[in-house]
Structure 1
């Protein structure tokens, strides 16, 4: 039985006992006087009893009204206040419960607002990243190019771009540490600097060394980016410089031969001066030959058993697929399908970027979309 109910019953019982004692004490008086006195005392005790109950109900209803008013304010989205009470009865428990609930709701509301703020920032950064990535593959003389990226989160760390020119064109692929906002920031900085340096320095070696020089002071110790920068002479020679990125794969269609070459160099941002490690390499491409660039999200993709896709499997898919008739898009699809089947049932842990380039004997005008949706 509750404390308040006990108090009300006790008040009623006390008044009943008092009335009984008065009746017993008046048993020896005259009947008229006794009856009149008992009636008056009963009325007085009745009023006393009612007043006691009223005061008790007032004590209940006033705090209860405060609690209900604050709850109503909370539920209707209006301003509410913490209920201050020292009572240890049901009302006190209810007030304490209300205060705890509102405290938790305020914490949740704060978390929601912070989540909304972060989401807004992510959306902004994501839009900036999408704007920096080319929407379609460019038209570069004698090259059929398909390039697509699929981030593992809202903001990926993989990036690529094309810089077509009159006598030469440049292509780069980059992969910054991790993914999310920090990776996206590195990508934005690198893309902006490369766009500037390509017009300032004719050699890809100079572009790579200058990029590292200007970027290093602005990066944290754990932030860096691997990269490959290709330089195409619009004829048959393709040069490249690497910054600790994945292999460059060259597929000779007429020979059914696939060769993987280390990109060389060291990741951008790891050393203050990378000039001693940046070396230029080159390859002469024949008609129908392929060059494949990729990020580590491809070769390090895992299946449900925890096995890694690996470079050898990628080379094997390419070797089985290349013919003089196959297009860059078709080879891209075969690689993407094989990686997808291998990963089936396992989530994508890292950003994946794949660029397939085919040397052609004619101008390719088709500009393919760069979004990787499947």
Structure 2
């Protein structure tokens, strides 16, 4: 068999006709006993009547075997005959159309030729159309085969141009040619006139036969040669998609286009392989191409366009698409070898064919719906993609276009046979590649703008951080901040109060991350510095911050404000922040809402004394919420255990960060000195975000 694929119409027509009883063709009354061949330096087409018999017996290869009781098959091409698949002329119907309608398996052809005036070594060129595998014998000697023959069956491959040289001593005189053929049972249902040789062999001078074989390979290259160009375009598109994916993993359409190109390359590769080398057997090739690759390729294209148009319900699209793919695979498998005709009756094509057509149209309808929603959503960019979608649809559904709308799908361009799907694929990939690069450049411009804005926010936050810590007589303060991003959401302030010599310490964590959180921190810090000029009471400050944040959408933050006086008395106000640890013991506090959640909220307030040598440890929730690879939390128990021993702020922050940082980590350690003394300025971070 030259090519495995057939149209659904042929399957349907044959399915309807398969039940008709076949009548064995009458044997001609006076068949020729042998063919007289005067060759010289030329060739002779071995057309005419050949002896034919179904079954298998290796004795039938011997030249002295009596085949007088055999029937005959005429290998003369009927006038106006053409290949039903390819349209090529000179096609001879197989044995199923010559009196053996249901026969599969082995059959033999025999012909006696009397060669005269041969001027050189002879060779036999075998037909390019054979169902399915064959062995060639001359005078009982095996010259070659196409396929792998076993004792009871053979493995068939797509028929390739083949010629076999006769032994040097066979140049003149009588020779007996015997062709042993095996047809797979699946071929019976692929074409309505399958079986055996569809062209006559050619006998002649080996050099001329070699030229004919070269011409056949040239014809093959012109038939499938456009596939190499399509493969090149696909490979370039795949490289572009993979390159863009490596630079931007947030855009899923790059991934899905690379998968589309990879699967299409595999599909074209199968076609090219079976057209040039016998590496993939006929039935596995049909299953791989039609049953597996075809439906997956359609599904991948639909998924790609879903991501390209940024459809919101892609989980639903995935389920629908892969459900259709699975159903299409099952339906196609039932219409292909080895299931069709053996496990699925031939007449089942009457209802399987429209079901498969309906599944294909469902893919098309879904693609149309995705495109329509994409155009409504993306406007200009959606319309730019519309032409590419149309070209992809033509490539995917060219067979349905031919069946339903009678659209021509094969063209001859510069001597090469080019399919409409190939043309559509090449142009669609060109447009899609341009659109991918355009989207990538647009995304990069947006990212550069975001980076610039984040850098500006980071610089604003750095402006809020003084170069030196203020003098805090009687207190030793350590701070450590490890942001999870460039712009974090934790903050703290250390503000001396000039009126009474006390120190205000503010610690908090805003909602959100990144640029939005950084700008909210800047707002809170500015509000704190403004409010402290009028009052240093922690509760009044907390209420002021709550009023500033209320009504700003989802702007909220946990906050803890401490006022430490020179005699060690401490006033604490808390709004949903983690309680501090006094000498390693957590201070008990009632719950309260973060600032900015509700107007007029009540916040927890407590009073205690910080004795000389006492230590307060303040921290954000990023310490307790650190996670290791097994998703285990750093946790409060581990914090309490570490605080039982003297530990610095940097040591606790590093322990949480090494455990597995998930959020901003802020640790503030405050110790009252045993004796008041003037201490040099300590460099530190006053406001960290």
TM superposition score normalised by structure 1: 0.66
Distance 2:687 2:559 in 1: 20
Alignment of 1:173-184 (within 5 A): 173-184=507-518
User: Is 1:113 matched with 2:445?
Assistant: yes
Tell me which residue corresponds to 1:311: 636
Alignment of 1:6-25 (within 5 A): none
- Per-residue deviation at 1:264? 4.6
Distance 2:622 2:488 in 1: 11
Distance 1:181 1:355 in 2: 24
Distance 2:427 2:526 in 1: 58
Higher relative contact order (CA 8 A, sep 6+): 1
User: Is 1:283 matched with 2:608?
Assistant: yes
Tell me which residue corresponds to 2:622: 297
Distance 1:146 1:369 in 2: 7
Distance 1:176 1:372 in 2: 13
- CA 1:137/1:371 → structure 2, altered by over 3 Å: closer, same or farther? closer
Distance 1:353 1:273 in 2: 28
User: Is 1:194 matched with 2:519?
Assistant: no
Tell me which residue corresponds to 1:352: 665
| 1:91-131 alpha-carbon deviations (Å, 9 max, x no partner) | 96665544332221111111111111111111111111222
Distance 1:104 1:280 in 2: 58
Question: How many residue pairs end up in the alignment?
Answer: 269
**SS, match of residue 357 in structure 1:** strand
User: Is 1:248 matched with 2:575?
Assistant: no
**In 1, are the aligned partners of 2:497 and 2:536 still within 8 Å (CA)?**
no
| 1:219-269 alpha-carbon deviations (Å, 9 max, x no partner) | x24x31000011111221121101110011111xxxxx6343337532001
2:648 equivalent among 298, 317, 331: 331
**SS, match of residue 541 in structure 2:** helix
- Per-residue deviation at 1:371? 9.6
**SS, match of residue 227 in structure 1:** strand
Distance 2:663 2:576 in 1: 17
- Per-residue deviation at 1:363? 3.1
- Per-residue deviation at 1:298? 0.7
| 1:331-369 alpha-carbon deviations (Å, 9 max, x no partner) | 22332343244x1xx3x2111111000100233324133
| 1:164-188 alpha-carbon deviations (Å, 9 max, x no partner) | 1232221101101131122112211
**In 1, are the aligned partners of 2:483 and 2:664 still within 8 Å (CA)?**
yes
User: Is 1:370 matched with 2:657?
Assistant: no
User: Is 1:171 matched with 2:505?
Assistant: yes
- CA 1:280/1:132 → structure 2, altered by over 3 Å: closer, same or farther? same
Alignment of 1:133-148 (within 5 A): 133-148=465-480
**SS, match of residue 174 in structure 1:** strand
- CA 1:337/1:113 → structure 2, altered by over 3 Å: closer, same or farther? closer
2:589 equivalent among 262, 265, 271: 262
**In 1, are the aligned partners of 2:625 and 2:633 still within 8 Å (CA)?**
yes
Structure 2: tracts of 5 or more residues without a match? 1-383, 392-410
1:126 equivalent among 439, 442, 458: 458
Tell me which residue corresponds to 2:565: 233
Distance 1:294 1:262 in 2: 15
Higher helix residue share = 1
Larger Rg: 1 or 2? 2
TM superposition score normalised by structure 2: 0.37
**SS, match of residue 199 in structure 1:** coil
User: Is 1:206 matched with 2:540?
Assistant: yes
Distance 1:319 1:263 in 2: 24
Distance 2:607 2:430 in 1: 73
**SS, match of residue 217 in structure 1:** coil
Distance 1:301 1:112 in 2: 32
- CA 1:119/1:263 → structure 2, altered by over 3 Å: closer, same or farther? farther
- Per-residue deviation at 1:138? 3.1
Structure 1: tracts of 5 or more residues without a match? 1-81, 252-256, 322-329
RMSD (Å) for aligned C-alpha atoms: 2.8
- Per-residue deviation at 1:192? 0.8
**In 2, are the aligned partners of 1:149 and 1:372 still within 8 Å (CA)?**
no
- CA 1:100/1:208 → structure 2, altered by over 3 Å: closer, same or farther? same
- Per-residue deviation at 1:280? 2.4
Distance 1:215 1:295 in 2: 20
**In 1, are the aligned partners of 2:626 and 2:657 still within 8 Å (CA)?**
no
- CA 1:127/1:356 → structure 2, altered by over 3 Å: closer, same or farther? same
Distance 2:566 2:476 in 1: 12
